[in-house]
Structure 1
Amino acid sequence: MSGDNKVAPVIIKRKKVVSGDGHHGGAWKVAYADFVTAMMAFFLLMWLLNATTEKQRKGIADYFSPTVALARVSGGGDGPLGGDSVFAENVLPRMGTGSTSLRPMADNREKGSFSKGESSDQDTQTEVFEQAEDMLMGRGGESMVADELMKHIFTEVTDEGLVVELFETQEAPLFKGEAEPTQLLRDLAIVLVRAAQIVTNPIAIEGHTAAYPVVLAKNPSWDVSGMRATAFRELLFKANLPEQRVQRVTSHADREPREANTMDLRNSRIEVVFLRRQLE
């Protein structure tokens, strides 16, 4: 037993091993999650811009716009502002965003901003344009145009107004020779006069032609498009359209083709634009 006391004690050291902090302790995961969230929000925004209409986007923008009650009259005090409220229309800083809807200013209109009354008038005109467009194209189940005439009509509502395009085909031209109207164009003129009874806006008439072969010594497209626009204006007058309704007659020659092939017959057309009324 005494021999056992001479044996040196066995000492076991347990060394605590500390592993690495795992790429800065996982903070990169938070940054990566923020990046993924931001990318998801960006692609969601791009999808919304592509999937919504102009009116819907305006509604979304109005929803997030701050609303502050603005006073048009004096605050009634005698302080440094002379009794004016800092939110009064005549004191409110002008940042080029237009006037208030209660008292529009002419210089704000020049910046392209509309007051509530002006915007409402523009919307009303657009609704009338769309109603006339539906009747011309028979989209509502009721059309003022026969099927054989409807094949030669294309309508579009733009910022300028309601554009009614009359185009010819190989089988049914609008003109004989350079500027002699066919019976088809005479019938289309009657249709346009009927539409002018619904849409009372002023009218612009524009003549277009397909490109002529370059081998010609002189390009007649300017003269021909001008003569055709003038001939159609006379047809409208004969169909009892008041002369004061026509604001302008324009010759575009072959400068604004509808088809990539400038010599395509589809580019020969008459455009009638019911112009938007601009408020003074």
Structure 2
Amino acid sequence: MRRRRIQDDDLHNKERWLISYADFITLLFAFFVVMYSVSSVNEGKYKVLSETLTGVFNAPQRSLQPIEVGQNPPAAGIGSGEDVIQPAVTEAPRNPDMDEAGRTEALRTMADRLALEFDELINQGVVTVESNEAWLELSLRNSLLFGSGDAEPHYDAFEVIETIASVLENRDNAIRVEGFTDNQPIQTNAFPSNWELSAARAAAVVRMMSMEGIDPARMAAVGYGEHQPVARNDTEEGRRRNRRVVLLISRDASIRGALR
């Protein structure tokens, strides 16, 4: 009996290492979970920050001319005794060889390409493409680009904008980006009302389009808030449809002319 008890104690002592090993594995797993959570990066924010910093550091140096304050400040280039360089007036690129019929056909071609690129999302009701002889309208649900109550694009938005830019690049058509919300009130430090939220979302899309190579002179950003609904706001589906960003692509090149 004494010998058997000694053997049982020896067996128990030999298996104690399993407890320490299990504790070690648990701690190691917890360590890697914490490290992963700390190292995960919002890639959408990273891309915006990266593009912004690249633009800042690559921008040419500029000097500011002081403005003389007084009753009768001298007019630029008059009586100053120095040659004053007038700022150049830039316009969107033109296609002088294309007549009105050609522009209409080119607009239809862009509509067909966008419909093909977003075929799956169109079937899901997230994207709509409509066109006539003068305008092409591309409507995107806000959930495709932004989080709730936010104007900062999430990562999936960049792929969508890249696809749109690939269709609109190397052209001169004017582009008006319009932001819309539902009628649910918002009041934050960044967005006191839906006006600011819708305008900020439209401006964010314009900025992303510019980052993808679309000439900023072709674009304008407009915010309508909740005041131009396409559906009733008393249902969740209606509010979801009203939360959208719309790109209106004009047949013409002049953005100011397209807005009139």
More helix as a share of residues: 2
TM-score w.r.t. the length of structure 2 is 0.50
